[in-house]
A and B are shown apart, each in its own frame.
Chain A
Amino acid sequence: MRSHRFYTPWLLMLPALIWLALFSVWPAINTITLSFTNVHQLTGGHFIGFKNYWLLWHDPHIRDAIVNTVIFMVVCVPLLTMLPLLLALLVQRQIPGIAFFRTAFYFPVIASAVTVALIWKWLLDDRGLVNNLAQSMGFIHKTIPFLTDRWLLLLSAVALTVWKGLGYYMVLYMSALGSVRRDLHEAAAVDGAGSVRRFWSVTVPGVRGTMVLIAVLIAVNAMRVFTELYILGGRTGGVGGQDVSIVMLVQQAASGGDGRLGYASAISVFLFFLTAIPLLFLTRLNKNAQEES
């Protein structure tokens, strides 16, 4: 059997490496470099040391942005890790009409952001469907301020994210569930394990790799939350800017002809390190679980 030359694997990886270098590594290095300058959209800048980080520390919105982003991640990760798994267990059964439900659950994934924005604003507005229904049925006398109260808006954004992401992660779990051995379930059942016990002892360990991957993806996406809060809270980040996320601060700093690219880059670098924390935690968790098993 003829052996490969030493560069064969590198040749195979070359397109991906070029892509990674151009669109991930170089922008990341450039972002770090810019974060130490006062470059604007149209005017060049110069090295200003850690001034952007000092400004970030004193930014009146950074505390709200961190709190909102972390809460968003902490709520989204468990919800979007477990709910799609339960959904996948439901829709993987071969019963008549199940294809309709699979399609229905996946539909929000392909819905456009504009459509989603309109639907959710119509639902949650003071004069929207939810408030009107609740009022007409006598459940409430005063409208629920979904789009003006800080925490309700954040929870609404979580609900939107879960609604839009369920179908996507459900499909990933359906694929993973296909590789869970049926005989393990049967053996557990013979040993007297109920459905809940089999779920935790057979199903969850069987899809753990996918589960960690999904948790990582959700954590990264949640730390980068922008669209959902922008859709519901607008460009100011809710009434008074109390629902801003860290990425919204980046967008606000960098937009316009006078956009502050240096400062926006400093926020991005900060976000990078903040995102690394839950990722390291999740990978450590997975490593420990693997070693124990």
Chain B
Amino acid sequence: MRRTTAVSAIAVAATLLAAGCGVGSKSSSGDSGKTVATTGALSGSITFQTWSLKNDKFTPYFTKLIADFKAAHPGTDVNWIDQPGDGYTTKVTSQVATGSLPDVINLPPDIAHAVAKTGNLLDLKKNVPTLDADWVKSGLNAYNYQDIDKAASFFGFPWYLGTDVSYWNKALMAKDGLDATKPPKTFDELVAQAKIMHDASGGKDYLMSRAPWLSDIANTGTKLLTDDGTKFAFNTDAAAAMLDKYTQAYKAGYLPSNVLDNAYEGNSALFSKQQVAWTTGGGNLITSLAQENPSLAANVVPSPALDTAPLYVQGLSVSSKSKNPALALAFAEYVTNNENQTAFIKLAPGFLPGSAASANDPAYSKSDGTPQGDASVIAYKDLTTAVNFTPPIWTDAMNTVLNQEIAKAMTGKETAKQALDNTVNQANALLTQ
């Protein structure tokens, strides 16, 4: 009997532990629309948070940056903290929930959107008259959220930007009868050349090596959102046709069989292993390859991204709850001004400044004639038209649904249209939960 009681007690305790994963959360009403008085002298201290930038490469830059700011504004202090790369969303979430969001904080657009919804980020449009003139428009647009404020609020200064360049393995393509200097420019051309490579190599070499995503849907001309930006509507015939083409290519063996499962390493890893002849990457991929894989780097040819290039943005936001908003705003503007962004980007090749004045800088628009130089210029030119394909209301849960449904379509469990309908319906349902 005692043994039964003991076992029952263990069972109850274990079951409680199984269920004990609740997390509390508090609502925080914000003051994002307030106006910050910036006319007086700056004083006091603020906290500045970066994301995985405190290291041998960047620490000297930030140390000098902060020292220069303090010298220009005597009586001020900036406490710089840096968060590790992993779990940044969780960290920021806990900072919001506990009311400890730093005054100036490095946030990508998706995390900034979640924080802005709580009213914890300052609307820069109301506080920086030169916002449109001094920062890159595509970067600024990434911090404009229609579902929060249709009157065009902006919640982040574009800081450093990236886009994708296409890279082709010249030798692998030549082996299978393709010319890397005449690479595909559209998705249809890509599939056509993937077939040539597949047929010539007996299915051993690949040109395509990833499943489609939102960017591929958007590149069919499909609008991801309804006009008012509050719902998803990308289950169009054009998007379904694109997914059908991917499905046919997958079934025909033009893509590695594991692109849909967890053994998939990503197209850049497969490109490095020379198992696929095409990948996309930042503007400095060839420089990176030259260190890791010199023989491959010598064979890489860059070209503009297929269709519209994606835009990757990092920005600086200002907490609306800051106890020293004037200093926080001044510091965020200072860090993201053209001079400081240009100096920062020199340490981060492959990225581009988010300041509008950089458009006149020949350093970004003239190639030195090397493939790496060409790639940098391609990236810079594409930046003006690049688009942040991820809608601000897109969440992790929706991404999981999209990947699941695309996999179902590509493995023949659903039609492409069914998969897109299911994705849109589930994503819209998630918006209301």
Contacts and interface: CB of A to CB of B under 8 A. Distances in A.
Interface in A120-159: 121, 124-128, 143, 147-148
Nearest to B430: A260
Contacts of B93: 41-42, 257, 259
A204 to B, nearest CB: 16
A213 B13 CA distance: 13
Contact of B397 (A148, A223, A260, A287): A260
B20 interface: yes
Interface string A6-35: 000000000000001001110110111110
A231 B261 CA distance: 11
Interface residues of B, number: 57
B395 interface: yes
Contacts of A287: 4
- Chain B CB count within 10 A is highest, among A55, A220, A280, for A220
A29 to B, nearest CB: 8
B263 A290 contact: no
A13 to B, nearest CB: 12
Contacts of B403: 236
B404 interface: yes
A91 interface: no
Interface residues of A, number: 76
Nearest to A257: B114
Interface in A53-105: 55, 60
Given A268-B19, A271-B18, A240 B4 contact: no
Nearest to A40: B25
A240 B408 contact: yes
Contact of A283 (B11, B27, B404, B426): B11
Interface in B104-145: 110-111, 113-115, 117-118
B117 A256 contact: no
Nearest to A260: B433
A232 interface: yes
Given A44-B27, A257-B115, A24 B17 contact: yes
Contact of A220 (B15, B117, B407): B15
Contacts of B16: 24-25, 28, 272
Interface stretch (A108-116, A169-177, A186-194, A246-254): A246-254
B405 A240 contact: yes
B21 interface: yes
A255 interface: yes
A147 B262 contact: yes
A287 B422 CA distance: 48
A92 B374 CA distance: 68
A234 B262 contact: yes
Contacts of B151: none
A282 B405 CA distance: 39
Contacts of A206: none
Contacts of B397: 252-253, 255-256, 258-260
Nearest to A55: B433
Interface in B1-31: 1, 3-4, 7-8, 10-11, 13-28
A72 B57 CA distance: 48
Interface in A225-253: 231-241, 250, 252-253
B413 A240 contact: yes
B188 to A, nearest CB: 26
A268 B22 contact: yes
Contacts of B92: 257
Contact of A252 (B111, B400, B413): B400
Nearest to A34: B22
Contacts of A250: 21
Nearest to B22: A31
B396 interface: yes
A105 B126 CA distance: 66
Nearest to B431: A258
- Chain A CB count within 10 A is highest, among B16, B18, B20, B92, for B18
B400 A217 contact: no
A31 B430 CA distance: 20
A39 interface: yes
5 contacts: A43-B118, A224-B18, A232-B262, A240-B404, A260-B430
Interface of B: 1, 3-4, 7-8, 10-11, 13-28, 89, 92-93, 96-97, 110-111, 113-115, 117-118, 257-258, 260-263, 395-397, 400-401, 403-405, 407-408, 411, 413, 422, 426, 430, 433
Interface of A: 20, 23-25, 27-28, 30-34, 38-45, 55, 60, 121, 124-128, 143, 147-148, 209, 212-213, 216-217, 220, 223-224, 231-241, 250, 252-261, 263-265, 268-269, 271-272, 275-276, 279-280, 282-283, 286-287, 290
Given A31-B21, A41-B93, 8 more contacts: A24-B16, A39-B25, A41-B25, A45-B25, A121-B263, A147-B258, A253-B397, A283-B8
